Structure 1
């Protein structure tokens, strides 16, 4: 079993092997050494007898070592043994208990790591001397315990040598920390006793200066250096809490190791987290040794920056006045244990004397400030009174004027001399004098601090002016000294109030004569006011209704409904009202319906609900009759639809037979004249059948019975199907039918393809009827929409609105006829032989699709019917048509030849969308010339 680490270079004893030869018993000892990653094995062979002697000797040595170890562990001295490099070999129990390090922790330390920095140089000199062969020496130095405490030790150190080389340095030390502290305390006490007279004299000087000098620096400046010398501190700082309670002010700072509080007099710093705040929390002085340990960080976090600045001892004592802590005196020492608990009484005595000096200084300055402020306040009061726009005056306790500002003479017409010395009630209108006098006698007896009264006065010219007077009682020493008053001219306001009162009287007269009822209720539904309408209609008098709940006048009254009405009125604007319907009760118990316009209005008690009530009995009767008439009309419409459905079915059967028979006749041998007649019969029958279908669809649309399907479909296939259905009629008239679908139109839409196809077929058929030559062009594009993406197409999930136009090159439509078609979608004239129902049906279907339909036309230039329709946008990967360049076709030259310019332009856009380069020609000569020209350019036309 290997004991220790395989990485150590020490020799390890791993096991004992027994070997037996022919006549001698041998003991084999295998020794393994590891150094620089190389393993060395040495095997020693000794005789068994020699081995037994070796074992007895080793056991004896181990027993002796155990006895010595027990002796060392029970010793009170600190005993240690270290290697020449300073690494620990052995420490006794007293050593670990004093310095608090465990044996495992010491494996990573050297003796120099725990010697205090002030003793390192001395210790290293002694240590080097003894391991170099010098004699053992006595040494006194300081060790640093694990918790940061300094331990004073003294003792002897010596070195053990083997073969002339140092093996270990041994030390036996005594802990003299308590002895040194007692000696220092005794010395401090003696020094303090010697300095009592000097400190007392300095403090008396503080008291003398505090009463004569306006500068606090003169008070505590001479004292600071003396305090530092007596107490043994390196730094001192005086701080006081600012009036705002969240910061403190530095009065004085001395010493270089004061990094946090600042040392500039007058510096204002945050209180939270400072050493001053720590003193305020305890309101008692305390001493702290600033050690780098968890206890200091937990109990005194505000003092940690002081330790980082190199300080090791701290004393803080409060500055107190009348039992209230208003600041702190801070003392610091950069020497461990430089300050102690014994220094606290002296520091507190100094702090008390300084606190008294500061308090006297503050009192002196406060008195000066109060006197100055009173003088400034009096002057400001006089200036403000002179500049005020209202009357400002004072009287004595009897009510006789002692001061008036310049506004009083201007307002009253009396001079200042005519006012002063007279009683203020002499200027009050005679019918109000007794009332005003009684009011202020009660004010004086009741010692009310402030009162307000409005009353009229008589000016020197005899005019009446209304005054709003606010009066304050002036008391001193418990006795009334007079009054201070502010009077404002409110004549215009009183006149406005009088006009308002007259207006309200007129309004009341109008309300009383109104043909509708006027009602005001409070928040709980109690009637505040009503007009005469209620007496005429409910048979109650006004007095019978006032103060009663609306529950007595409303049938099936519910509090919840009143709450809802209040909430709705509160959310409406002040000028906005709304209407509700209710049923009112007459005094005889009969009921009648009413319509009430409800709103909010302001009254003296706050907000109230008002209602304009109208009897709607006759209107309700008319509405009932109207509903009955509407029901009769709907019944008639239903009968008409049923009739149309039945008659159309009866007509469709024979018409379908006629169409079938004409188709069969057309397949037989007919003369040209017969074929013409039969063809006309077939066309007429087909037209009749289309009219029947249009009539049925129009009837269903009118009744709201026609619903649109909502299924995915390919818009290109839908348009193509519609054109194939119309192709025969168009080509029969010798016209070209052209289709163009914008590539931005989505491949798959969600809607009703059957009705979309029906609209297109109707419009194409209508265009073909009025076109003698040329073409019919059906274009499908995307209507601009807020939901379009950056590439111009719609976003997934957005509604898509497509724009379809049907353009012909026919005769066109005059403007007056366009207006007629736009209004009724009837035929412009009878040349087409249609009924006009197709256009009407298209308009209704477009409306169901949330679109619009309109016409653009010019006589002789053709017509264009436009309509828009809204569909859902879905992604159908199976049916979606890929847009954009097609692989393998990019850059390929293609020759397009067509004598129809519209077809040529449409084809050009299609192939360009595939990435091809189109060459356009309208006849054979242009096509051949284009082929020859591109052949000479070494760019062959791949497709024509």
Structure 2
């Protein structure tokens, strides 16, 4: 603080000195001008008087010019006050001498008053200089009066005039000085404020530069104001690149349309968070990021731009995809079930193992497929799990679609918070069959065992290890001979040893089999998690001869199960939050929108001018469009959440089709299009299904056809597809769809070309909803089209005829 104050004082002193020199220069130039004026008035004097007078005036001019030169020299600002005093005193004395030469005692005092006032005004920093100047002026005046008029050299009216000028100059000087010092304080405060702002800006930039998340700020014209280093690391684009590319230049084309809407909303002051989208980095890679968008405000709260914070979520996305792939590709059977053991999610291994389609298993209880003899044991194990046992392992036989049974080795855990059962089963049918074969043939038994990946071990009836298969070396790093010779090498984890002894003791007392998990120490010091199936060996007369163990290394599987469980927990939580959000969204958005539409309809019933009625129609049309969009979004979400139910009620098919097309006829006529439909005569008049959802599918497809067709026609055809199905087509003569987009367009928020969003509007939800509705009604949907050749959308539905109405109608067609 002391250094800063000293520096501030030094700067202020330099500014004061500069101001002093400026004022002295002005004063001296005024004096030169005054000397010139008096020189013109002295032309009336005699030649001899003029010579002496002009010598004095020349001396005055030389003194002033010397003073001006001295003030202009570098480093002389500090001595400006002394130069000013000396110059003023010299001018006063030479002026008094001039008055003596001209014999004029009247003009001299007036000139002295002017000099005194001016000199005192330009010397406001020291009373000493002011007093010296006044004293010189008074002395010169008294000498002048004495020599010219012969009066005694005593103070008189000239001295009083000089004194009055001095007092006046002091007052004026103090006023000027007070103003100058107030201004200096303001300037000092401004400089301090600017310095603090610069420090704050440096600190803020340093903070943003050290952040791991990318930060970008844009002005209202969407020009970049700032981009930190993390953003450049994420995208590869710096501030210079952003000036050329704009806010969306690095966004993946598939996310461009929704992100543009978010950008527009942020420009209007809205805030958005947890927005995930893909970017294309400068080197061409695709990365995922989660971002927030908010308005950038100035100190008065006015929006001056948009600020974005983005975090790289690529790794998380990849991890989720890897876990999903693991679930789908796992050779073991993976299961997620409710507390009632009804399956909710299965991997494809179930289809490969049992021959069922997954839809035939999901929703049915566990007991429906298990062998009756295995149900008591399975019930006991599941009871232990619900009672708080962290995990269980047991075997059970499952019935295949062809009636055969396969044996599964289960590992299961129960999430009490989510009330979900997570299970992983390994098909051990072939392994059990192999065990039976081993008892019949020692040679075949050894040949098979020595080539197994699992470790096969045999314990005699005294509990001594008498055999281990060679694969034990892969498991714990010891050869079979070493393990058999020194059983302590077969080190079981201390926490598992007691349980393993109990299992071993139980099998040696009572014949049977069981599965157990425990940990073994490898020679490298690591612990391997193994899954062992133990079975009692019996003699020919039924006595206990020992135990055979089939041990498998499940270390990696256990690690994967933990990761899979964590991923499932996260997915379930996300699903719960989504469901809550949709429930709130449906009520909070549809209700006010219906209110808006209702009030606009009431307004249309009142007396309105033509312009007002046009405005009301625009408001009504926009509100209906927005409500339709919201309905599409909520319908799609309900379908994805499995909460949309399909009705099965009798209805008149032709009436439903006609009602669906009726509101679209005006749209077609306005574009000069022909809208027609044809229902084959073989189609029943009454069918059983969901007329509302069928109407929704037709409206979506026909509406799209009208929107993308500029000339020609749109035709709807309905025929039979088998005994209990309908085959419907919607054909148009519009712009067509590229072949590579035939699958993509059925995804949510997707259109065949991003430019169609701008040219024709729409969100890309219609076909996604149609796809899911068709699937829920037991059918499928596809498209046949080429660019510029129109498009034909096909869909089939499982809609049986109404048995109460067997008669079909004649073919129905309408334009």
* Superposition TM-score, scaled by structure 2 size: 0.35
More strand by percentage: 1
Q: Name the structure, 1 or 2, with higher relative contact order (CA <8 Å, separation 6+).
A: 2
More helix by percentage: 2
* Superposition TM-score, scaled by structure 1 size: 0.31
